[in-house]
Amino acid sequence: MKRILFVCTENACRSQMAEALANHFFAQEVKAFSAGIRPTKVNPLAKKVLEEVGINTGGLRSKSLSEFSLKDFDLIVTLCDSAAEECPFLPEANIIHWPFPDPAKEKDISTFRKVRDMIKAALPEIILKARS
């Protein structure tokens, strides 16, 4: 089972959605986690759009990058530019940058849905990278 860590600045929207979507739709292949450079709290609209596609959000919480050892992951995916710039560099780590727009800037549920769907569509390729 491959382990993927999704990283954003606050671990409030994109990385939370990526973690939940990966664990829901690809549970046989990966175990996904998420973390933030400066974690805050999970955005309620992120939870809402995940629940719309049948994902239980009860266990979601913002986590700090310091809670994890980056060397324990097969793939680390930064989902925003600031996380990519601030993510600790490990030469042996498999790190990719896959930016998505920040839905929290719009504060509109349709933007959250759009980003959720973009992340879901990208997951098969991200998981393929975790295998290599």
Active site members: 8, 80, 87
Whether 79 contacts 8, CB under 8 Å? yes
Whether 92 contacts 68, CB under 8 Å? no
Q: How far apart are CA 129 and CA 80, in angstroms?
A: 18
Whether 77 contacts 126, CB under 8 Å? yes
Q: Strand order in 95-97's β-sheet?
A: 30-36, 2-8, 75-78, 95-97
At 69, the amino acid letter reads S
